[in-house]
């Protein structure tokens, strides 16, 4: 298997980008992703997923082992680095990810597609919960960005700006839909 057959994913992109920045071990990758709040855009909830991604990138020749060390009373620590093929693949992935909208399948639009499964009242109650969660997320993003801008260049916050725009747009939509439901402008006969 070669680089062209390696499946692109947000986590594989993050791993390659981190080792291009500096050779490092898996635990450090996971730490940096969390420290930089990139776990908002890259799923590292399961530590094993980082290791599985590293194994896949190693197998496909995009990563190489730089060194393996063992300190007293500590497990072995393997430091990884990007290969030249890995660097080129990362650049190609980035060009594709930035230029080509992906067809993604998030849960919220799927729930909207099947709205009549619930009564209008149930849908309104669920939307109000979502609105509260979105408002909290928007406030958290605003605070995080305001704090970070004092010591982090904007370049490293553009994903937070994007997330903020997405959350704000979804919040506006959810509020409008909730208003339509509460005012009776959108209704249906409960069928299920």
Q: What is the pLDDT of residue 1?
A: 47
Q: The pTM is what? A: 0.83
Q: Is the same domain home to 89 and 17?
A: yes
Comparing 2 with 70, which gets the higher pLDDT? Answer: 70
Quick check: 66 and 79 in contact, CB under 8 A? yes
Mean pLDDT, the chain, as a whole number?
93
* pLDDT tops 60 at residue 184: yes
Domain endpoint, select from 70, 99, 128: 99
Comparing 16 with 154, which gets the higher pLDDT? Answer: 16
Give me 153's structure tokens.
């260049």
Domain endpoint, select from 77, 99, 121: 99
Structural domains in the chain (count): 2
Give the domain extent around 135.
107-182
Residue 132 CA to its chain's centroid (Å): 21
Which pLDDT band holds residue 164 (cuts at 50, 70, 90)?
very high
Q: Is the same domain home to 37 and 68?
A: yes
Q: Is the same domain home to 77 and 10?
A: yes
* pLDDT tops 90 at residue 125: yes
Asked, for residue 137, whether it belongs to a domain, the answer is yes
């Amino acid at each position: 298997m070669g680089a062209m057959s390696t499946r692109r994913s947000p986590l594989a992109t993050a791993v390659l980008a981190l080792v291009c920045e500096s050779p490092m071990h898996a635990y450090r990758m996971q730490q940096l992703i969390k420290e930089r709040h990139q776990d908002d855009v890259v799923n590292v909830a399961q530590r094993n997923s980082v290791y599985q991604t590293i194994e896949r990138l190693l197998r496909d020749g995009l990563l190489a082992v730089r060194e393996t060390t063992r300190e007293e009373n500590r497990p072995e620590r393997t430091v990884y680095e990007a290969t030249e093929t890995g660097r080129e693949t990362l650049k190609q992935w980035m060009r594709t990810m930035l230029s080509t909208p992906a067809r993604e399948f998030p849960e919220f639009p799927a729930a909207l597609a099947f709205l009549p499964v619930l009564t209008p009242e149930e849908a309104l109650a669920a939307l109000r919960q979502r609105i509260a969660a979105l408002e909290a997320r928007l406030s958290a993003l605003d605070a995080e960005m305001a704090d970070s801008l004092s010591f982090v260049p904007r370049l490293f916050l553009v994903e937070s700006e994007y997330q903020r725009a997405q959350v704000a747009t979804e919040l506006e939509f959810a509020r409008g839909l909730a208003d339509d439901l509460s005012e009776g402008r959108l209704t249906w006969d409960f069928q299920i």
